[in-house]
Amino acid sequence: MTWNEVEDLFWRYVQRKGYSDQEYKELREDRTLSAILDMRELRIEFAQLVSKRKLRPKMDELKQEARAKAREERGRGATTSASVPRTPAKKPRTTYEAVAASRPISQQPSGSLPGAAQRVPTSYP
């Protein structure tokens, strides 16, 4: 997986976290301290999910939650898009892999991405 593919996957994950369109846009474009800190927390959470191989189930869970909210809004007859209040998430513990994954690519050590498993040969000479 290339760095650009990882970055795209990260932003898809962020979209599914329940941010409004405006909040999502601000996260992508804004460089204020609060946005930078939010991004850092999201990147750490993302790296932890990747390292535990739990990203796909979490993405599926977020997708199901979004569908349920959409059905609920349609059921109430809501026509305007109101921002959804977010519950504060429990702060994840920072691990070496999460810190390494949150560093810009220019500071990453050469080689594979942090937490990436090495491939095991399937045949022997």
The model's pTM is: 0.45
Arithmetic mean of pLDDT over the chain: 75
What pLDDT score does 53 carry? 93
CB 11 within 8 A of CB 59: no
Q: Is residue 16 one of the residues assigned to a domain?
A: yes
Asked if residue 39 is part of any domain, the answer here is yes
Q: Which residue has the higher pLDDT, 42 or 79?
A: 42
**121 belongs to a structural domain:** no
Identify the burial level of 4 via C-beta atoms within 10 angstroms of its C-beta, where 0-12 means exposed, 13-18 middle and 19 or more buried: exposed
Expressed as residue numbers, the domain containing 98 is 3-78+91-104
Q: Per-residue pLDDT averaged across 81-106, rounded?
A: 57
Model pLDDT for residues 63-72, shown as the tens digit of each residue: 999 899 889 9
Residue 84 lies in a domain: no
The domain total for the chain is 1
CA distance 40 to 99: 9
Instruction: Dump pLDDT digits (tens) for 7-59.
Output: 889 888 888 888 888 888 888 887 777 888 888 999 999 999 999 999 999 99
Q: How far apart are the C-alpha atoms of 46 and 54, rounded to whole Å?
A: 9
